[in-house]
Structure 1
């Protein structure tokens, strides 16, 4: 049960730490100065919402997200949010593909090499259905988390930064709400596809608390690092590279590879949500449906990585606030029902 809980925890983290998050662009879009309290609230809200989603998915033995979504927002609004999830997963996976292109551009390759590489590997991993994605996350996420924390903590020590926030100056605490809402909607799609594979509620507790604690810790340290290079962020498509310039090239190369893998795991999670949703009425193997989905996405990658995040992420964060409120109130409403 513990191993299974850790497996789902890595699936959650892998779906969250993608191009926007791991690059620092998404964190800077919502947080910045005076956001220590906001990040703490995010970790708590995130864990609670994940617990509710996993519990609903487990109790309904779900194989795709629609039954879970209906429980959360009701049948009347489920159609609207079903369309929103499809649009969200589609557009954010486009962002992941564009992020892969931006990563390889940092090494003076054409962005189309990065987009083509991730597209081909996404099709390959879906030959093993859901098991391929879960196994990939369990193997690579500890490396990503460890590598990212190492670089950020080393940067904080070199800059002599304090890890404790000034609680008298936390004006940006409300950012916790749209940031949590932004990251919750795609996880409904991903976790709604694995309800029939969970065996007990112990797995749910481990996955929800563990993912919230890890993401909250990384977010807090990462945001503090970005504040120190705020004047340089505008010069970089991927803010993490502004931090990595202080280190030897081998460190830059290592973290860039892990960043690309984080992009890959989130893209795989997005396609997983889409494929499991449509597989009930579009017949075909996982890899073929994934290939067709990617072909539809490719023309949109020309919009650019930071441009997509700048406009789409805040919009989704606001639109998803209703889903967040439904998740927070679900235990109370369900008790009365």
Structure 2
């Protein structure tokens, strides 16, 4: 049981990141659909749970040391290459969104120009990726439990201060930008996006586990927990649409509504979560092509980080609306491959 909880906690840590911290993607994927978004949020519990089980079991049964070998094994060379490049595109695209998000924090919390936050994040990410990434990632990853505590606090605060019905709030919720045109497609798209970002690490995590049964249960419990967090976050935003509507950082706005000090602390947490995600994404992108700390690696990573900085001027909310659904649709191919993997590798039974 202890090992299962350890695996599930690690899987939650991989899936829960800066997107949860801001609340913007959850607003677009679920709350913007009102009551139908509530159904979509509950749907993610089952999908995250099952795909989490498959991912960790796949890694354990194949003794995976790299996601690339496993992806090619279950999908073939042609599809494997396509999925590989999809994952590469997601790394760069979401990394760009993270840089834009740092600008949104400075603008919303402190009233400063967005370029202050994006420039600071760009410099920090470049310095970190070119130096000791592992140490920084491990330190900041410890903030994830604190983020979850804050999310739960905001959930309680949101429900306790709600002064109108969900029916009355639904029209305002539906005025917010939506990820796709359909609530069910949006829910599946959201899971696909999350799994596409988490799959490389999750497969390797499973490869470290000798017991495929424990790995599977760890992935199942972790996936169910993430789905439950999606539901909690949805209700948190839905309950106080009067506060969060139109904000780039909905959760930050809610935190400020509770207390200016809580808002200040939460802005720091979001910034660090974004920082953690950005360095992980750009570092993983660089290592896909070259060894870390080599000249070619440095040039490649710096070029794409600066490209992300330039693209960030499009705006955080706009980039989430643009990139996330596209990557979610592309990630659906990986979901299909994962669903047929047990039949191809005959690993459906533990």
Q: Does 1:22 align with 2:21?
A: yes
Q: Scaled by the length of structure 1, what TM-score is found?
A: 0.82
1:175 & 1:93 partners in 2: Cα distance? 21
Tell me: CA distance 1:10–1:121, structure 2 relative to 1, closer, same or farther (3 Å): farther
Instruction: Give the drift of 1:315.
Output: 1.9
Which residue does 2:229 correspond to in 1? 218
For structure 1, which segment, 53-62 or 262-271, has the greater mean C-alpha deviation from structure 2 after superposition? 53-62
Q: Report the secondary structure of 1:117's partner residue.
A: helix
Deviation at 1:235, TM superposition (A): 2.7
Take 2:347 and 2:61, find their aligned partners in 1: how far apart are those partners?
A: 18
Seen in structure 2, the aligned counterparts of structure 1 residues 149 and 224 have a Cα distance that, compared at 3 Å, is same
Q: 1:281 to 1:294 in 2, by over 3 A?
A: closer
Q: 1:108–1:64: structure 2 CA closer, same or farther, 3 Å change rule?
A: farther
Following superposition, the deviation at residue 30 of structure 1 comes to 1.7
- Residue among 243, 263, 268 paired with 1:257: 268
Q: Residue 210 and residue 284 in structure 1: after superposition, are their counterparts in 2 closer, same or farther (change >3 A)?
A: farther
Match of 1:306 among 292, 300, 317: 317
| Unmatched runs of 5 consecutive residues or more in structure 2 | 167-181
The equivalent of 1:167 in structure 2 is none
2:323 aligned with 1:321: no
Quick check: 19-28 or 95-104, which moved more? 19-28
Aligned to 2:118: 115
Show the counterpart of 1:124. Answer: 128
The alpha-carbon distance between structure 1 residues 311 and 26, as it changes in their structure 2 partners (threshold 3 A), is: same
| Alpha-carbon spacing, 1:312–1:53, altered in 2? closer, same or farther (3 Å) | same
Moved more, 31-40 or 283-292: 283-292
1:50 aligns with 52
Counterpart in the other structure of 1:152: 155
Alignment of 1:71-150 (within 5 A): 71-106=73-108, 107-122=110-125, 123-124=127-128, 127-130=131-134, 132-137=136-141, 139-150=142-153
**Distance across 1 between alignment mates of 2:5 and 2:295:** 30
Structure-2 separation of matches of 1:71 and 1:42: 27
Q: Does the 8 A contact of 2:49 with 2:222 survive in 1?
A: yes
Q: 1: distance between equivalents of 2:59 and 2:291?
A: 17
The change in CA–CA distance for 1:274 and 1:191 in structure 2 (over 3 A counts) is farther
Q: In structure 2, how many angstroms separate the alpha carbons of the residues matched to 1:156 and 1:292? A: 45
> Cα distance, 1:252 vs. partner?
0.8
Q: By how many angstroms is 1:151 displaced?
A: 1.5
Greater shift in the superposed pair: 324-333 or 125-134: 125-134
TM-score, length of structure 2 as denominator length: 0.79
Change (3 A) 1:256 1:202: farther
1:324 is displaced (CA, Å) by 1.2
Task: Spell out, residue by residue over 1:286-335, the C-alpha distance to the aligned partner (whole angstroms, 9 max, x if none).
Answer: 88865454234222111111011112212222232222122123223322
- 1:81–1:161 CA distance, 2 compared to 1 (3 A): farther
Count the aligned residue pairs: 328
Question: 2:162·2:240 contact (CA, 8 Å) conserved in 1?
Answer: no
1:124-168, Cα deviation, whole Å (9 max, x unpaired): 37644546424531x2111111111112212112227999xxxxx
2:347, 2:152 → 1: CA distance?
Answer: 43
Structure 1: where are the runs of 5+ without partners?
Answer: 164-170
Contact 2:30/2:234 (<8 A) preserved: yes
Question: Shift of residue 91 of structure 1?
Answer: 0.7
Report 1:192-211 matches (<5 A).
192=203, 197-198=208-209, 200-201=211-212, 204-205=215-216, 207-211=218-222
User: How far does residue 246 in structure 1 lie from its aligned partner after superposition?
Assistant: 2.4
Q: Which structure 2 residues correspond to residues 60-79 of structure 1 after superposition, within 5 A?
A: 60-79=62-81
